[in-house]
Amino acid sequence: MQYKIPETMRAMVLTGPGKFEVQTVPVPVPGPEEVLCRIGGVAICGSDPEIFRGDIAGVWPPHYPFIAGHEWAGRVVAVGPGVTKFKVGDRVCGEAHKGCGHCRNCLEGHYTTCLNYGNYESGQRHYGFINNGAYCQYNVYHIKSLTPMPDSVSYKEGAMADTAGVALHGIELACQKPGSTVAVIGPGPIGIMAMKISKALGAGRVIVIGRGSRLQSAIKLGCDDAVDFTACDPVEKVRELTGGLGVDVCYECSGAKGTINQGIRMCRRKGKVVMLGVAPDNVTEEIPLRYTTANEISILGSKANPNTGWKVMELISRGNISVESMVTHTFDLEHIADAIDTFVNRKDNVMKVVIYPNGGEDA
């Protein structure tokens, strides 16, 4: 199978902080152990608006012009030297991180915390953050950042694999046991995915804490109990729902100030709080130290989705979790400004937005 590769493509190019244009740019060429992928679908992540605005320009992105986007699925259309794992025509979903492969953290499997982060010569990559990403028609990826995707999984479902992997990594860090009672604070995309995967892995009960349309989405998508934090004290309500014992695990998925404190106080003795939400730099937290120490509460940071790709794809492709219902809006690349506006301003009960750079599922 061969594909005719054009010399140029359309891409959403960041030209400066808060500025972007859809431009015609050259199609990249794959190097050793890299493949060129035709992007089928790319989802807007909660971290993307920070990159669009240039909140930490010089880091994410490291320079302008730059192409963002990291939650994607597509098809291999060309392979570079030394590639044997993938062939032209293979459908794949992508991962943002690729570690250097030789630092201590990478050797231990913790490549999302690679000690050579930002050192291009080391082999480390972070697609859509410090290396060009998927808001374009074609992009080059290292084979270690790809997961095979069966024909039964659509591009928009494959674009959700990154979100699912982030939630799964946190669940694995918690060593969540079957029958556990779980709390999820923040029913955005990560929170909903944490709810879905927790239930798929045998949680006995999932309590979701939130408000408004997103809490209603959690109810619609299968939570066991819903707590509106605008109508009650969420800690007291969770304690009431658990007969005073508290939950085994709390997944904090909002990054809002005060929620880690709440999560700790929702936990039973020996409970765990996993930090899946990414707080702004200026957010600090008061920790109830005596309660945390006396009850041996564990607080776990969680970064990205290491070693989850094949697991997530199994869960999605075999119907153990449904992700298609989470994609509430789709746009083509030429209307990406409308897509960003819809996502950032939470219009029309938006949950996840997927961009089709090449026109749609059948393109």
Please check whether residue 3 lies inside any domain of the structure: no
- For residues 347 and 262, state if they share a domain: no
- For residues 142 and 172, state if they share a domain: no
- For residues 140 and 173, state if they share a domain: no
Please check whether residue 190 lies inside any domain of the structure: yes
- For residues 105 and 148, state if they share a domain: yes
Please tell me the predicted confidence (pLDDT) of residue 267. 98
- The CATH number given to whatever domain includes residue 55 is 3.90.180.10
Q: How many domains does the chain divide into?
A: 2
Please check whether residue 363 lies inside any domain of the structure: no
- For residues 196 and 113, state if they share a domain: no
Please tell me the predicted confidence (pLDDT) of residue 1. 74
- For residues 203 and 220, state if they share a domain: yes
- For residues 55 and 132, state if they share a domain: yes
- For residues 128 and 193, state if they share a domain: no
- For residues 340 and 288, state if they share a domain: no
- For residues 134 and 262, state if they share a domain: no
Query: How distant, in Å, are the alpha carbons of 265, 270, 287, 313 from that of 294?
Result: 12, 9, 13, 40
**For the chain, which ranges sit under pLDDT 50?**
none
Please check whether residue 244 lies inside any domain of the structure: yes
Please check whether residue 118 lies inside any domain of the structure: yes
- For residues 12 and 156, state if they share a domain: yes
CA distance 297 to 264: 7
Please check whether residue 145 lies inside any domain of the structure: yes
Q: How confident is the model over 195-236, as pLDDT tens digits? A: 999 999 999 999 999 999 999 999 999 999 999 999 999 999
- The CATH number given to whatever domain includes residue 296 is 3.40.50.720
**Predicted TM-score of the model (pTM):** 0.97
* Residue 26 belongs to domain spanning: 8-160+323-356
Please check whether residue 361 lies inside any domain of the structure: no
- Whole-number average pLDDT of the chain: 97
Please tell me the predicted confidence (pLDDT) of residue 91. 98
Class of residue 293 by CB neighbours under 10 A (exposed 0-12, middle 13-18, buried 19+): exposed
- For residues 151 and 132, state if they share a domain: yes
Please check whether residue 107 lies inside any domain of the structure: yes
